[in-house]
């Protein structure tokens, strides 16, 4: 009987120890999506950043992520997607998609961020947008025509659908190859977020090579 009691005590202690270890295990810095999202360019590893011009954290991320993007290898495709949660999010997102469609987003992206974050311009009205963008060399009439075009409306629908599939709740959020979602906070900081992105890109590259062999 004594041996049975001792065995039970050890078993309970062992179980408690296992439970404590499980509770102390650090959470993964990313979420693996239950339903992976197809990438925009088949054959390339995709890295997505979801952002909003009105987000100070996204603005602070800019000087860190931009040099990283410029050094990405040729097998990686980087995509920016505006998060559109209504109100100014939608207005700013439509502005970004319009500039992207016009092929001038890269030239004025930083200026738009600065205008909203540093100069406190709202830029939620399309005419105000056009007036500001004209100071950056963007054709005002072409911007307004593109802003209200059917093509941009389609891009808005696509951006909203992707954000829903990625199951994002805030920005800046990154998605690697349509499978892994994380943000600067969960990664431990801006630099750590990019290190995690690199790690997941390498992981996907190795998986692609293994599948090909």
Considering the domain boundaries, does residue 26 fall inside one? no
143: CATH:
3.40.30.10
Considering the domain boundaries, does residue 110 fall inside one? yes
Tally of structural domains, the chain: 1
Burial label, 124 (beta-carbon count in 10 A; 0-12, 13-18, 19+): middle
* Angle in degrees, 0-180, between the axes of helices 150-166 and 140-147, rounded to the nearest 10: 60
| pLDDT mean over 94-104 | 97
Considering the domain boundaries, does residue 15 fall inside one? no
pLDDT in tens, 124-180: 999 999 999 999 999 999 999 999 999 999 999 999 999 999 999 999 999 999 999
Q: 83 with 52: CB under 8 angstroms?
A: yes
Considering the domain boundaries, does residue 5 fall inside one? no
Name the least confident of 23-27, 43-47, 199-203.
Answer: 23-27
Name the least confident of 14-23, 171-180, 190-199.
Answer: 14-23
- What is residue 184's predicted lDDT score, i.e. its pLDDT? 95
Q: Residue 184 is part of which domain span?
A: 31-212
pLDDT at 74 over 70: yes
Considering the domain boundaries, does residue 7 fall inside one? no
Considering the domain boundaries, does residue 164 fall inside one? yes
Contacting residues for 45 by C-beta, under 8 A, at least 6 apart: 39, 75, 76, 77, 176, 177, 201, 204, 205, 208
Q: 166 with 37: CB under 8 angstroms?
A: yes
Considering the domain boundaries, does residue 67 fall inside one? yes
Considering the domain boundaries, does residue 55 fall inside one? yes
Task: Find how far residue 167's CA is from the centre of its chain.
Answer: 11
In the chain, the percentage of residues whose pLDDT exceeds 90 is 85
Q: How much is the pTM?
A: 0.87
What is the length of the chain?
A: 213
| pLDDT mean over 84-99 | 98
């Amino acid at each position: 009987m004594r041996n049975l009691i001792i065995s039970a005590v050890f078993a309970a202690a062992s179980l408690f120890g296992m439970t404590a270890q499980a509770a102390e295990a650090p959470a993964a810095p990313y979420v693996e999506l239950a339903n992976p999202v197809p990438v925009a360019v088949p054959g390339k590893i995709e890295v997505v950043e979801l952002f909003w011009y009105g987000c100070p954290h996204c603005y602070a991320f800019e000087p860190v992520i931009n040099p990283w993007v410029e050094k990405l290898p040729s097998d990686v495709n980087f995509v920016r997607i505006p998060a559109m949660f209504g109100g100014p999010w939608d207005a700013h997102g439509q502005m970004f998609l319009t500039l992207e469609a016009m092929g001038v987003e890269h030239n004025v992206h930083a200026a738009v961020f600065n205008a909203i974050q540093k100069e406190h311009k709202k830029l939620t009205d399309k005419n105000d947008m056009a007036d500001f963008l004209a100071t950056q060399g963007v054709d005002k009439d072409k911007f307004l025509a593109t802003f209200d075009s059917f093509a941009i409306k389609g891009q808005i629908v696509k951006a909203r659908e992707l954000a829903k599939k990625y199951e994002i709740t805030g920005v800046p959020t990154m998605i690697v190859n349509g499978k892994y979602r994380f943000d600067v906070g969960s990664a431990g900081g801006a630099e750590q977020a990019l290190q995690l992105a690199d790690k997941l890109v390498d992981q996907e590259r190795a998986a692609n090579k293994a599948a090909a062999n």
